[in-house]
Amino acid sequence: MSRTLDSDRSPGAPNDRVAAAQAQPNIALIKYWGKRDVALNLPVVGSLSITLDTLWTRTEVRFSDALDADSIVLNGKSDPKQLKRTSACLDLLRARAGIRTRAAVVSTNNFPTGAGLASSASGFAAMVLAGDAALGLNLTPAEQSVLARRCSGSAARSIFGGYVEWAHGSRADGEDSVATPLLPADAWPLSVAVAITSTAEKAIGSTEGMNRTADTSPYQDAWIDSQEADLAEARAAIAERDFERLADISEHSCLKMHALALAAKPGLLYWNAATVAAMHVVRSLRAQGVPVFFTIDAGPQLKAVCLPSAASRVAAALREVPGVLNVVETGLGGPAHLIPTAAAAAA
Ligand code: PMV
SS (HEC) of the chain: CCCCCCCCCCCCCCCCEEEEEEECCEEEEECCCCEEECCCCEECCCEEEEEECCCCEEEEEEECCCCCCCEEEECCEECHHHHHHHHHHHHHHHHHHCCCCCEEEEEEECCCCCCCCCHHHHHHHHHHHHHHHHHCCCCCHHHHHHHHHHHCCCHHHHCCCCEEEECCCCCCCCCCCCEEEEECHHHCCCEEEEEECCCCCCCCCHHHHHHHHHHHCCCHHHHHHHHHHHHHHHHHHHHCCCHHHHHHHHHHHHHHHHHHHHCCCCCCCCCCHHHHHHHHHHHHHHHCCCCEEEECCCCCCEEEEECHHHHHHHHHHHHCCCCCCEEEEEEECCCCEEECHHHHHHC
Contact 28 CB / ligand 1 (< 6 Å): yes
Atom of ligand 1 at shortest distance to CA of 116?
Answer: 9
Atom 3, ligand 1: residue with shortest CA distance: 206
Closest among 322, 273, 281 to 304, alpha carbons compared? 281
Ligand 1 center to 244 CA (angstroms): 24
Mean pLDDT of 206-220: 97
277 C-alpha to ligand 1 centroid (Å) = 23
Note whether 328 and 194 are within 8 A (CB). yes
Q: Closest ligand 1 atom to the C-alpha of 154?
A: 1
Please report the pLDDT score of residue 5 as a whole number: 41
How crowded is the C-beta side of 253, counted as CA atoms within 13 Å?
A: 32
pLDDT digits (tens, 9 = 90+) for 224-240: 999 999 999 999 999 99
Q: Is residue 214 within 6 Å of ligand 1 at its C-beta?
A: no
| Dihedral sign, Cα of residue 269, residue 274, residue 75, residue 99 | positive
- Angle CA(154)–CA(49)–CA(217) in degrees, nearest 5? 65
Measured distance CA(48)–CA(165) in Å, rounded: 4
- Please give the C-alpha separations between residue 221 and each of 142, 170, 236, in angstroms, as whole numbers: 29, 17, 24
Per residue in 70-117, pLDDT (tens digit) is: 999 999 999 888 999 999 999 999 999 999 999 999 999 997 665 557
Query: Which of ligand 1's atoms lies nearest the C-alpha of 155?
Result: 1
Average pLDDT of the chain is 93
pLDDT number for residue 105: 97
| Residue 335 confidence (pLDDT) above 90 | yes
Ligand 1 centroid to Cα of residue 172, in Å, is 21
pTM: 0.94
Q: At what angle do helices 83-97 and 141-151 cross, to 10 degrees?
A: 140
- How far away, in angstroms, is 14 Cα from ligand 1 center? 39
Ligand 1 center–CA 257 separation, angstroms: 11
For residue 13, what pLDDT is reported? 80
The per-residue pLDDT for range 134-160, each reduced to its tens digit, is 999 999 999 999 999 999 999 999 999
Nearest-atom number in ligand 1 for the CA of 206 is 3
Residue 142's pLDDT is what? 97
Does residue 206 have its Cβ closer than 6 Å to ligand 1?
A: yes
Q: Is residue 334 over pLDDT 90? A: yes
Q: Cα(177)–Cα(65) distance, rounded to whole angstroms?
A: 34
- Distance, in Å, from the CA atom of 135 to the CA atom of 90, rounded to the nearest integer, reads 11
Q: How far apart, in whole angstroms, are the C-alpha atoms of residue 301 and residue 314?
A: 15
Q: Which of 30, 35, 154 to mutate to test the pocket of ligand 1 (most atoms within 8 A of CB)?
A: 154
Q: Check pocket membership of 153 for ligand 1, CB cut-off 6 A.
A: yes
Report the nearest-CA residue for atom 6 of ligand 1: 154
Instruction: For CA atoms 321, 326, 329, 333, give the dihedral sign.
Output: negative
Distance in Å, CA 206 to ligand 1 centroid: 7
Whole-number Å distance, alpha carbon 241 to ligand 1 midpoint, is: 25
Residue 227 Cβ inside 6 Å of ligand 1? The answer reads no
pLDDT digit string, tens, across residues 1-40: 333 444 334 467 889 999 999 999 999 999 999 999 999 9
- In this structure, which residue's CA is closest to atom 10 in ligand 1? 297
Q: Is the pLDDT of residue 326 over 70?
A: yes
Give the distance (Å) from ligand 1 centre to CA of residue 213: 14
The residue-averaged pLDDT of 50-62 equals 96
